[in-house]
Structure 1
Amino acid sequence: MSSKRYPEEFKIEAVRQVTDRGHSVAQVADRLGVTTHSLYAWIRKFGPDSEQHQANADDQVEIRRLQKELKRVTEERDILKKAAAYFASQSD
């Protein structure tokens, strides 16, 4: 399935028709020949709340990175605990 690429200016103008001029998403999507799914994605990216969506996306990326790091550090700590217990039992 091939997807058509649209210029950024086209996407921004489509978003303006919905946000500024008050047209419905379905009307604009039908008139421009795009899917409503694409138009909603453009609204998230270029709409008035796009900075908030971008900040949320950045926060989610950071949360996933920190969770991954926490898992790694926890595993390292558990290994070191086991090693310390092993060496303590060997020194007796």
Structure 2
Amino acid sequence: MSGSKYSPEFTNQVVLEVVDKHRTIKAVAESYNLVAQTVGVWVKEYRKKNPDPETENLTSAESAELERLRKDLREARMENEFLKKRQPSSRRNHSSCPLHVHLLARRQLPRSAHVPMPHRVSLGIL
């Protein structure tokens, strides 16, 4: 990290949010307005220097299983965050959209003409 424009205290704060609070690298990077790859490098360096004492005595199979479970948990949290956000709807209820018909002077339509509106079709009648 030599030549880094971020102080060691700042990088440590960012890394600890990922490691201690189990937040995703992407979410932490966005909250600090950083690139996710940069935060990922910081976390990787931190984990090399500070191995988790809980995982030191695990077999390679147990370690792999723990990593898989952590990955599943991260993905579930990301899905949960995504589902909490209100998504803009691309489907509109066209039955509530008024249809304006301009009558021609020569041909008159009945006053209460019902023109069915096909779903998902926007019409422009001149």
TM-score range for the pair, normalised by the shorter chain length? 0.3 to 0.5
TM-score normalised per structure 2: 0.35
The alignment's TM-score, normalised by the length of structure 1, stands at: 0.46
Higher-Rg member (1/2): 2
More relative contact order in 1 or in 2 (CA 8 Å, sep 6+)? 1
- Structure number having the greater helix percentage: 1
